[in-house]
Each structure stands twice: as structure tokens, then as C-alpha cells.
Amino acid sequence: MYIGSKGWYVQKLKDKGIRYIEGRKIEQYKAHVLANLYKENK
């Protein structure tokens, strides 16, 4: 898994306990949405 890839963001968010956004799994979102969420919750 490459740093900054969608899978990397999914794993980092799951490590923080974030699995859903507005009732949808985070895997359904595009990488740029996950990147913004990761930066907000750093």
C-alpha cells in the first residue's frame, strides 16, 4: 500500500475509529474526500 493512496487513507481512518461517514462506509468515498477527512482529524 502506497502512502497517500486510497487504501492507505482507509487504513489510517479505521485506526482512528472512523468507519462510516453519514451512514456510508468510508470505502465508498473517493481518495480526495478521505484525504480531507484525514487532515481534519489529524
Domain assignment present for 1 = no
Query: Which residue range(s) make up the domain with 15?
Result: 6-40
pTM for this entry: 0.90
Q: Burial code of 5-27, b = ≥16 C-beta within 10 A, e = fewer?
A: ebebbbebbeeeeeeeeeeeebe
Number of structural domains in the chain: 1
Element housing 21 (H / E): strand 20-21
Q: What is the pLDDT of residue 1?
A: 85
Cα separation of 42 and 23, whole Å? 21
Say yes or no to pLDDT of 42 above 90. no
What are 1-39's pLDDT values in tens digits? Answer: 899 999 999 999 999 999 999 999 999 999 999 999 999
Domain assignment present for 15 = yes
